[in-house]
Structures are given as C-alpha cells and as structure tokens.
Chain A
Amino acid sequence: MPRQQAFEVPDRGGNRFVRHTGIAAPYMYDNVSTDVPAPPAEAAGLAGVTSEADLAFANVRWNADGTPKDDFVFNQEPYRRASIMIVGLNYGTGSSRSTAVTRPLAAWGVRVYIGESFGPIFVTNALQYGVLTVQLPRPTVDRIADWVRSNPGV
C-alpha cells in the first residue's frame, strides 16, 4: 500500500471556513455510513496502521493485497487531487465517529461535501473540523455530479 502524503488536520474548532476551490469527485451512493470512510483498522485488515490518511475509505479503496482498487473514485485521475466530494442521500449516517471527517481530510484534504442529505451527527462533526456540508435538492446534486463527470478536474 503506497504511503499517502498526509494533509494537515486542523484542531477542532480551530479552522474557519472562508472559501474553497478544488477538484470535485462524485461518490453518488446513498446511505453511505461512517463505517465506509472510517473503518476500524484491524477490521479493514490494516492492523498496526495508524495513519488517518491511509485508513480513509480503506475497504473500498485498497484491495486485500494493498493495491489500489481501480473503481474507487479517488484512485482515478484527476480525482486523486479532489478536495470536494459530491455525495448522495444521507451521507455519513450511522456511527458517530469523527474520523469519518478527519480521514478524508487527512488523505485528500476534503473540505467540502455536496449532497442531497447528511447524517445529523456527521454534520456536527464536520462543523467542528471546519468542513462544509452543502445540502441541495437531488436534481441539483445530480446535475453537479454529471457536470463534474463530463468536466473532470476542472
């Protein structure tokens, strides 16, 4: 597994959001729970790995042998440098772990989520790390996702 250059994760509450420009990556599944961006290391087969950046999305990002999964959006060009995620319905539902915010932040500097809706605890956690969640009607989110797909990396 390649070591990821880690982004700096700000202290809770220590980061004010002013303006953000970056590449957007579509991850348009519904009801993605925090188990997906923030799996426990041992359960993900990564016992001993403590780097937040490496653990982000571990189950859908790495194959069991540590090679990257091609179908995961952040493993594709130009999304490797994406810092905005376009997500579906109820993103970040489930468990309350704040690592669901900090790990993608550490791995790719994901500072903005645009989606149809978010798990309530995820929104609270995001706020505390200066990460923005933007809730928009589904047709608008779909249009943004389509635009991003046809204009990758813009």
Chain B
Amino acid sequence: MKRRDFIRTSVGAGIVVALPWERSRFALQSRGTMFDKIWDQHVVASLGGNDYLLQVDRCIGGSPNQLTRMLAEGIEIPHPEIFFNVPDHSVSTDPRRYTDPELRMISNDFNEGADDLRAMGFNLWGQFDPRYGIQHVVGPETGLSQPGMLLCAGDSHTCTHGAMGLISWGGEDTSLVLRTSTVIRSRPMTMRVNVVGTLGRGLRAKDVILRIIADLGTDSGNGYAVEYAGPVVRALPQESRFSICNLAVEMASLTGMVGPDDTTYEWLAGREFAPSEEYWDRAVAYWRTLPTDDEAVFDREETIDMSGVEPQVTWGINPEHAIGINDRVPDPERAPAEKRETYRQAIEYSGLTPGAPILGTPVDEVFIGSCVESRITDLRAAAEIVRGRRVASNVQSAWVVAGSNAVKRQAEAEGLQCIFLEAGFEWREWGCSKCYGPNGDYVAPGRRCISNSNRNYIGRQGRDTKTNLASTTTVAASAIEGRIADVRNYL
C-alpha cells in the first residue's frame, strides 16, 4: 500500500493527515530519550547547524483572525484539519456572558465567517461548543493531544500537553504552520528531572513542580526540553501530570514531558479524537516504543527528593520564590548576591516582612481555576476541603472556575458546585479567568490573591496585585481561614 493510500484509509475522527502512530510503520525505530525519538520522527529536513524543519501534527490557536486574513490574501492552507481554534484567554467567565451584549462582544470575535472556516475543515470551538474550554484542558480532554505527536501553539502553556508523552511548545508563529504544516526550530538539549522520595500527606503535583522550580530556578530549563520522571511522577494520575508539565515553561524550558504509560492510555481511551477501537491496539503498540530507553543519555540530569517537603507557596514575584508552608519569608540581605536585587524588588512589591512566617498571611481574594489545576479531579479535591465549611469573612472574592465545559458539567452532575456555593464561593463559567486579565476577570488593585494558577509576576493578575501560588487544596484551605493555611489541618 502506498503511503498516501494508507493515510486515506486510516481516517479517524475526521483526521486526514497521518498521525505519528499511523506513520510509525514507515519510520525507523530510533533509540534514546523520548524527546529524541519523537523529534527524529518529525524531522522533514535538517537545515544546517542545529536547525530543523519539523512536521506539525496539531496546532491550537485562539482567535481565527489570522486564518481569515491569510485566506483573504489568497494563501492556501493545505491542512485545515490540524488547526484547532479555542478562544479561551479573551472570554469572560461571568455567567451573564451569554446574554450581556458587552460581555458577548468579548467572546464573540468568533462568529463572523466561522461557519465558512468550519466548512473548510478548521476546528473552531466557540463558547457555545460543548468542547469549549481552556486550550490546555480541552486538548487532552478531547483526545486531540496524543503520545508521540508534535503539537505547537501560540500560548506559552502549550507545554501542558507534554504530559501525554508528546513534544509541545507555545509561542509559535502559526503563519508558517498554516502555510506548510511545518515549523523551524533549533534542537534543544535534553534534561531529565527525577523526582524521588515519598510525597507527604496533602501534597499535590503542583507542590512537586513548585519545589522543582524553587530548587532549580526559573531559568534552569532555558535551552532544554525537560522530561519529568522518577517514581513520584510515575505514580501520579494523568490529570496531575498535566499540572507538572504546565509549569515547565516557568523554568524556561521549551517543553515538559512525561513518558506515556498505562495510566496515559487508559485516560485517553474512548475520547473523541483518540484512535478508534479498530486502530487502538496498533496505536498503543507504537506508543509503548516512545518512552526513554534505559541506556539513553541526557545532557543534564537533576534529582529532586520530595521526602519531608511541605506544601509549597510562593512569597515573591516569580515561581522560583516558593517555600514550605512553615518557612519564613526570606531576607534579601541574606540572599545569594546574584539574587539580592530581585529579592529586594520582590519584598517591596509583595509587602511581606523578611523573616515573618508565610503561614497566616491574610488574603483578600481566592482563585481556583486556570490550565494548571481546573480539571475534575482538582475540583473534587478542593470540594473535599471546603465541604461543610465557610469562606472567611475577610475574603472579598473567592472564585471557582472549571477548565472546560465538560469539567463544569461533570462537576455539576456530582453536585460539587453546591458544595462551593454553600461555602460562599462563586461558581463561574469556564475560561482562563483571573490567571490573566484581558477577559475582564482580574484581581482588584493592590489586593493579595492566593491562586492555584501558574504565574505570580508583577501585575500578572492585576494592578499592584500580590499573587501567592499554591496547590488547589492549599488555596481552598486558605479560603476557609482567610489566611495562607496549612492544608494538612483539613485532611
């Protein structure tokens, strides 16, 4: 069978371009790290030096404006079926967004010409699509991110998808991808982060990745593709692995990955874009060849021991400023010389006192949502903490924002929203919400917000707002106390 015919006969869920497991029959089985294997499979041409032309399997975008513009210019887009447009950042999570004309304006950049684009084969999921949600939640949730793929997108947290065992990165200029279904990239070095030891009571994946970033640094992954491995990561359920890979970009790495295993395959089976039953076994057989081989050599190896690590919370202005819940706010004057200037800026901005305990710091707002931890298992965990309790009276805003339409419906079917509402939380529509504010959801000026999102940089959540990053359950416990709290008292 010729390759073209093979591709045509293996159509699943409307996908015409051959996916990695379909191509595998034509590919040489390479050895080495998972990153190297997947990268090698996608090389169309070596461009000299360290640069490569790579085939793209899937590309996720927000607004389809660029599509429309290119089509108007008469540019041919050969493979519309690999493009998924989900406008998550700009949509308000206010429940009135369906009726309020002003809020609709924010969310409806999608309607004009959208049907024409859909007819051409582009996947446009607007706010009324049942599959709508945050890109990095709905990608895996619908099964469009699969092991062995190369997936790129505009948004920097696209590295989240790497938890499925694929290469994904954000910040891509999609115009080249639209024209050619390929990208040009320099090959990064490889790093493996082995997470060992035992995860203490009340710790979640978010605590693991905050600890990794705190130990290695916000810049540590620069120039690398990072694979998270070791017994602690291996034991994590699939949804928690997304939290780990989500913050890979917060250590400045190109991508974060976790080797796929039975946990991954079981989680993926039956999802809309997953290979159908007919092709499932062949796909799994191929995916099993992807994980890093025992003898593979990484350019850099790091080991993080989670034994004895407490729930993590950030005090400063970048994710590496994470400390244990019983630790004290660091003193810039005692910080390593090269970090002193940034520590000073962080102390000034955060308004915290050096040497003071972080535990008990009063919070004004509470946010649970974002592409880190807004999946159903996260909401269940948060609901367990707040069940039968009340949000403290000093907390002026406490939101729970599901990551997608599907998550929200599932949570409502389980009655989780009742638990949150009874506790005094607001139960919003799905979206990116307060993690980043161009959708109109942001923290009020000057306030402190404990948030389960991924960025605490200056002004990230709003004007002069102070963000403390923590796990979903630590955030839930802090909502109840109105201060940064130790989640272990609520288990």
A interface residues, Cβ below 8 angstroms from B: 12, 28-33, 35-36, 39-45, 58-60, 64, 88-90, 93-96, 117, 119-121, 124-125, 128, 138
Contacts and interface: CB of A to CB of B under 8 A. Distances in A.
Contacts of B154: 96
**Chain B interface mostly:** loop
A37 B437 CA distance: 15
Interface of B: 154-156, 170-171, 173, 218-219, 222-223, 249-250, 252, 254, 318, 320, 338-339, 341-342, 345, 436-438, 440, 442, 445-446, 455, 457-465
Nearest to B460: A35
A93 B252 contact: yes
Given A29-B342, A96-B156, A120-B252, A42 B437 contact: yes
A44 B442 CA distance: 10
* 10 closest residue pairs by CB, A with B: A121-B171, A43-B437, A59-B459, A96-B171, A90-B219, A33-B457, A45-B463, A96-B156, A40-B438, A35-B457
A41 B156 CA distance: 19
Given A44-B459, A95-B455, A59 B171 contact: no
B297 to A, nearest CB: 23
Contacts of B459: 35-36, 39, 43-44, 58-60
Contacts of B249: 94
B21 to A, nearest CB: 29
B254 A128 contact: no
Most chain B CB inside 10 Å of its own CB: which residue of A29, A31, A59, A128:
A31
Contact of A95 (B219, B254, B436, B463): B436
30 contacts: A31-B318, A33-B318, A33-B455, A33-B457, A35-B455, A35-B460, A36-B457, A40-B437, A41-B438, A42-B440, A43-B436, A43-B437, A43-B438, A43-B461, A43-B462, A43-B465, A44-B462, A45-B462, A45-B463, A59-B463, A60-B458, A60-B459, A64-B445, A64-B464, A93-B219, A93-B318, A94-B250, A94-B455, A120-B252, A121-B171
A12 to B, nearest CB: 8
Given A42-B437, A59-B463, A94-B457, A31 B156 contact: no
Contacts of B223: 120
Nearest to B462: A43
Given A59-B458, A64-B464, A31 B342 contact: yes
Contacts of B155: 96
B206 to A, nearest CB: 17
A46 to B, nearest CB: 8
A60 B252 CA distance: 23
A124 B173 contact: yes
A30 B223 CA distance: 17
Contacts of B462: 43-45
Contacts of B438: 40-43
Given A89-B219, A93-B219, A125-B171, A31 B320 contact: yes
Most chain A CB inside 10 Å of its own CB: which residue of B223, B437, B445, B463:
B463
B156 A95 contact: yes
A31 B436 contact: no
